[in-house]
Amino acid sequence: MYKRALYAQLAQYYDKIYWSKDYNQEVGFLAKLFQRNEVTGRQLLEVGCGTGNHTKLFVARGYRVTALDLSEDVLRIAERKVRRGATFVQGDMRDLDSAVEGKFDAVVCLFSTISYNLTRSDLKKTIRGLYEHVKDDGIVAFDTHFTKRGFLDGYRGEDIFDDGKVIVARLSTSKRVGDVGEISFTYLIKDGRKVITLRNDVHRLGLFVPEVFLQVMHEVGFKSTEAYSDWTFRRGSNTAAFKDTVFVGRRRA
Ligand SMILES: C[S@@+](CC[C@H](N)C(=O)[O-])C[C@H]1O[C@@H](n2cnc3c(N)ncnc32)[C@H](O)[C@@H]1O
């Protein structure tokens, strides 16, 4: 299986690369969403937990989290970060049943993890798994900033992170190949005396229009669905580049 360097040999730098991501805002939004939908139970399934940044904040709010990821490398970091209140499991979001048992009060899949489904059929397998692991009155939420209309073909960008100890420089380029968005990252990292160069870590992302996510949610059984724009309760999908759409489903209307 192809291993994306960001979640394998560069996993220890993941939190530095995404230092500016506002995990607090996202968890705050989701907690409010659960409250508004009268989800009072605290058993949460998190799919694609990465290095455990949402996990840690959910646990701090009193949730008991089962957190799954495909990559052993990010899971090791998450386990060190969240010592209590979470169970970490390795597994593939397209085959949740092999890794996770039972039903949860809420199920989340965050930071565009859902977009690693390249085909409608894989997307459906994943969304069906999310549906099957939520209780009848529970909530499923997933977000993405990669949509068919919003993906920036030909984007070129650079980011730099420097905390005085580690410097991470990252170049990104993107191109659209049919219904797949390809983002290629090149890294130059100076960590103390160590220098790491990593070229062309390619991430392939499925590009769907927002209506497809909603259609698939209905096909697997969700009775009510909603799309919210960019971690606010403003309804509607946000297809502007770098903005997120949060898709929400309930098993019962
Ligand atoms: C952009 S990261 C998001 C991580 C975390 N949710 C966050 O917000 O920092 C995407 C995560 O999805 C995981 N992932 C990719 N494909 C997956 C799959 N098929 N099943 C489970 N996890 C997957 C990656 O290993 C990575 O940790």
pLDDT category of residue 222 using cuts at 50, 70 and 90 = very high
pLDDT at position 238: 79
pLDDT exceeds 90 at position 252? no
pLDDT in tens, 128-185: 999 999 999 999 999 999 999 999 999 999 999 999 999 999 999 999 999 999 999 9
Q: Are residues 36 and 137 in the same domain?
A: yes
- Please identify which residue in the block is written with the tokens 């549906």: 131
Pocket of ligand 1 contains residue 142 by CB under 6 Å: no
Comparing 240 with 248, the larger pLDDT belongs to 248
Ligand 1, atom 27: closest residue by C-alpha: 50
Q: State if residue 108 touches ligand 1 by the CB under 6 angstroms criterion.
A: no
In short, whether 74's Cβ falls inside 6 Å of ligand 1 is: yes
Assess whether 138 and 29 both reside in one domain. yes
DSSP 66: E
Q: Is the pLDDT of residue 253 over 80?
A: no
CA 203 / ligand 1 centre spacing (Å): 11
Global confidence as pTM: 0.97
At residue 132's C-alpha, the angle toward residues 129 and 133, to 5°, is 90
For residue 201, the domain's CATH number is 2.20.130.10
Helices 23-36 and 53-60 cross at an angle (nearest 10°) of 50
Cβ neighbours around 138 below 10 Å, total: 24
Amino acid at 76: R
Give which of 152, 100, 154 is closest to 131, Cα–Cα.
100
- 1 C-alpha to center of ligand 1: Å? 15
Full domain range(s) for residue 144: 5-148+208-250
Q: Ligand 1: distance of its center to the CA of 138 in Å? A: 22
Total structural domains in the chain? 2
70 CB within 6 A, ligand 1: yes
State in Å: Cα 135 to ligand 1 middle. Answer: 23
One domain for residues 51 and 96? yes
| Residue 144 shares a structural domain with residue 244 | yes
Q: What crossing angle do the helices spanning 72-81 and 53-60 adopt, rounded to 10°?
A: 30
Minimum CA distance residue for ligand 1 atom 13 = 48
The answer on 83 and 198 residing in a single domain is no
Nearest-angstrom CA–CA distance, 6 and 34: 31
Report the separation in Å between the CA atom of 49 and the middle of ligand 1, taken as the mean of its atom positions.
6
Query: Is 54 a pocket residue for ligand 1 (Cβ < 6 Å)?
Result: yes
Is pLDDT above 70 for 1? no
- Cβ of residue 126 lying under 6 Å from some atom of ligand 1: no
168 lies in the same domain as 189: yes
Mean pLDDT, rounded, for 221-225: 97
Summarised one tens digit per residue, pLDDT across range 8-38 is: 999 999 999 999 999 999 999 999 999 999 9
Please state, in angstroms and rounded to a whole number, the distance separating the CA atoms of residues 127 and 27.
20
What pLDDT shows up at residue 239? 79
15 shares its domain with 135:
yes
Distance 227 CA to ligand 1 centre (A): 21
Is the domain of 213 the same as that of 104? yes
Residue-wise pLDDT for 172-212, tens only, equals 999 999 999 999 999 999 999 999 999 999 999 999 999 99
**What is the tens place of the pLDDT at every residue in 54-112?**
999 999 999 999 999 999 999 999 999 999 999 999 999 999 999 999 999 999 999 99
Position of tokens 């229009």?
A: 209
